[in-house]
Amino acid sequence: MLLKFWGTRGSIPAPIRPDEVEQKVVSALTLAGQQNVDLTNPDNIATFVKSLALNATTVGGNTTCITFEIGGKLFIFDAGSGIRELGQYLMSAPDEKTKQWGFNRGKGHAYLFFTHTHWDHVQGLPFFNPIHVPGNVFDVYHVHDHVPQSLARQMEAAFFPLQFDQIGATLNFHRLDEGERIKVENVVISNIELKHPGKAYAYRLEADNAVAIVATDSEYQSLDNVDTLKYRNFYANADVLIFDAMFSVRESFVKEDWGHSSALIGADMASEANVKRLLLFHHDPTSSDAEIAQILSETEEYLERQGKFLEVIIAREGLELELTNPTIISDFYIKDQLKNDVIYITVSGKFGGQATERFRKHLAHSLNSHGSDKVILNMKGVTEMQMAGIRALVDARRNVMSLALVDIPENVYRVIELSGTTDFFAIYDDEETALTAFNSH
């Protein structure tokens, strides 16, 4: 199951402004100067730019559109302005897969689901070129009765030059009942009503041993267990929860009945429902990339303070996630950051046989992408250490020139002692002490 985002903004498209681009260039070049990045080497520059994350790139400005590729079939969720980009991609057929799909030859077939018909979820459809190619077929699923009429209304002559009944492709509409569970190809899809003006519907997709939830445009007014239970049940054990994180918590309390939620409420909902990855989605058009990055770091801090180890990701245009990846693990969490040529890796949760492959891959990737082989491994959040974890650390020493273990909880340290390997590692109380030791060598 391959998930891809084509538009992640809510309400209205919010393209990045020229002054924002300028600001990104200025801050990137300033940082490159401070870090003495070799600006004559394109590979070094690319690595450096990647490490800047949202300081150098953007979540994008298009409104909601998400696709899943499952068993070679294309499932589209919502038709905000992001669907125009999807259309360009399908029509230009740049790879084997899209050539085979044949949307540019009138041979294409896809499933299109609507959460609801607010502008930001339908406005891209008239500009989705594959619907203008005779021969293409779209099976359109919706819960609201009025979806076909609403799609037609936005293409009335007063709003658009071409009318809905002049569309070249065939659109087959399928109305779903609230709570209905259907099987489309190999995918089991169910829905639940969300609290939103005029209602919106969340979809749960199950296929390829993976579960994905699209739950955008929803407000959770009462956070009492009895009221959130139906949502938590619907989101339970998902690999990804795509969540309406448009507001801050404060706004979600003040703007009651506006129908949107926040990242921190999503964090609670996801961790209570045992979700593996929380995707922050439906960004406010007025939020800058820096503000969205700030929301992410606050959400991570919030979870960390609760002792929860759930991965949180900002949904941005172009982001792809393969959900059948066996290395997605709910009880082990790893992230890294490059500061002054040292890679800081934080691991949390249960460090056992379920986590080692992911640890190895992540370590190899960060050594590669950051171009440093000095690693400070912060183990503060490790709740359980097993021999497989020790083995992975012992192996890591071989690939890393300087590896320091810091902030090791007492129980974890005792396990390292029991394994008789304490002398294999450079162990320090905290990150500063380790850094001083690195610098004195």
Task: Using the minimum distance from each CB to Zn ion, give the nearer residue, 258 or 424.
Answer: 258
* 358 near Zn ion (CB under 5 A): no
CB 347 within 8 A of CB 386: no
The number of helices, as runs of H, and strands, as runs of E, in the chain is: 14, 19
Q: Which residues contact 65 (CB under 8 A, 6 or more apart)?
A: 5, 6, 7, 76, 77, 78, 79, 80, 81, 82, 83, 85, 86, 124
CB of 244 to Zn ion, least distance (A): 8
Q: How far is the CB of 64 from Zn ion (least distance, A)?
A: 6
User: Phi first, then psi: what are they for 161, rounded to 5°?
Assistant: -70, -25
Here the tokens at position 389 are 């974890």
120 is a site residue for Zn ion (CB under 5 A): yes
Closest CA to 194 of 226, 230, 241: 230
Q: Tell me the closest approach of the beta carbon of residue 268 to Zn ion, in angstroms.
A: 22
Residue 90 or 202: which CB sits closer to Zn ion? 202
Strand partners, 402: 374
Query: Would you say 72 or 197 has its CB closer to Zn ion?
Result: 197
Stretch that binds Zn ion, among 18-26, 118-126, 365-373, 385-393 (CB under 5 A): 118-126
Range in contact with Zn ion (rule: CB under 5 A) among 9-17, 269-277, 294-302, 377-385 = 9-17
Query: Judged by CB, which is closer to Zn ion: 120, or 407?
Result: 120
Question: Which of the ranges 3-11, 227-235, 268-276, 383-391 carries the binding residues for Zn ion, by CB under 5 A?
Answer: 3-11
Q: Is the CB of 217 or the CB of 431 nearer to Zn ion?
A: 217
Q: Which is nearer to Zn ion, 63 or 129 (CB)?
A: 63
Which residue, among 283, 294, 276, has the nearest Cα to 53 in the 3D structure?
294
For the bound state, the minimum distance from the C-beta of residue 202 to Zn ion, rounded and expressed in Å, comes to: 12
Nearer to Zn ion by Cβ, of 260 and 350: the residue is 260
Taking the complex as a whole, the smallest distance from the CB of residue 84 to Zn ion amounts, in Å, to 17
Smallest distance, Zn ion to C-beta of residue 181, A: 24
Size of the site for Zn ion (CB under 5 A): 4
Query: What's the token pair of residue 369?
Result: 């992408």
* Residue 78 interacts with Zn ion (CB under 5 A): yes or no: no
* Site map 361..380 versus Zn ion, x via CB under 5 A: --------------------
Considering beta carbons, is residue 260 or 358 the nearer one to Zn ion?
260
Sheet holding 320-322, edge to edge: 170-175, 137-142, 109-113, 73-77, 65-70, 2-7, 320-322
In terms of Cα–Cα distance, which of 335, 332, 322 is closest to 366? 335
The answer to whether 239 contacts Zn ion (rule: CB under 5 A) is no
According to CB under 5 A, which residues from 185 to 224 bind Zn ion? 217
User: Nearest to residue 251, comparing CAs of 262, 264, 267?
Assistant: 262
Tokens 């390292």 correspond to 416
Check binding of 118 to Zn ion (CB under 5 A).
yes
**Residue owning tokens 């020493």:** 397
* Burial category of 233 from C-beta neighbours within 10 Å (exposed 0-12, middle 13-18, buried 19 and up): exposed
Cβ of residue 103: shortest distance to Zn ion, in angstroms? Answer: 26
Shortest Cβ distance from residue 62 to Zn ion (Å)? 12
Q: Does 124 bind Zn ion (CB under 5 A)?
A: no
Closest residue to bound Zn ion by CB: 118
Cα–Cα distance, 108 to 99 (Å, whole number): 10
- The partner residues of 214 in beta bridges, in order of sequence, read 203, 242
| Shortest CB 246 distance to Zn ion, Å | 8
Q: Does 10 bind Zn ion (CB under 5 A)?
A: yes
Which is closer to Zn ion, CB of 118 or CB of 144? 118
Q: Which stretch binds Zn ion (CB under 5 A): 10-18, 71-79, 288-296, 426-434?
A: 10-18
Q: How far apart are CA 405 and CA 396, in angstroms?
A: 11
**Smallest distance, Zn ion to C-beta of residue 165, A:** 26
DSSP letter string over 343-376? Answer: EEEEEEEEESTTTHHHHHHHHHHHHHHHT--EEE
Among the listed ranges 5-13, 18-26, 173-181, 303-311, the one in contact with Zn ion (CB under 5 A) is 5-13
Among candidates 313, 322, 323, 319, which has minimal Cα distance to 66?
Answer: 319
For 215, which DSSP code? E
Look at residue 212 and give its three-state secondary structure.
strand
Smallest gap from residue 200 Cβ to Zn ion (A): 6
Nearer to Zn ion by C-beta: 91 or 151?
151
Helix or strand (DSSP H, E) at 334: strand 332-339
Q: Which residues make up the interface to Zn ion (CB under 5 A)?
A: 10, 118, 120, 217
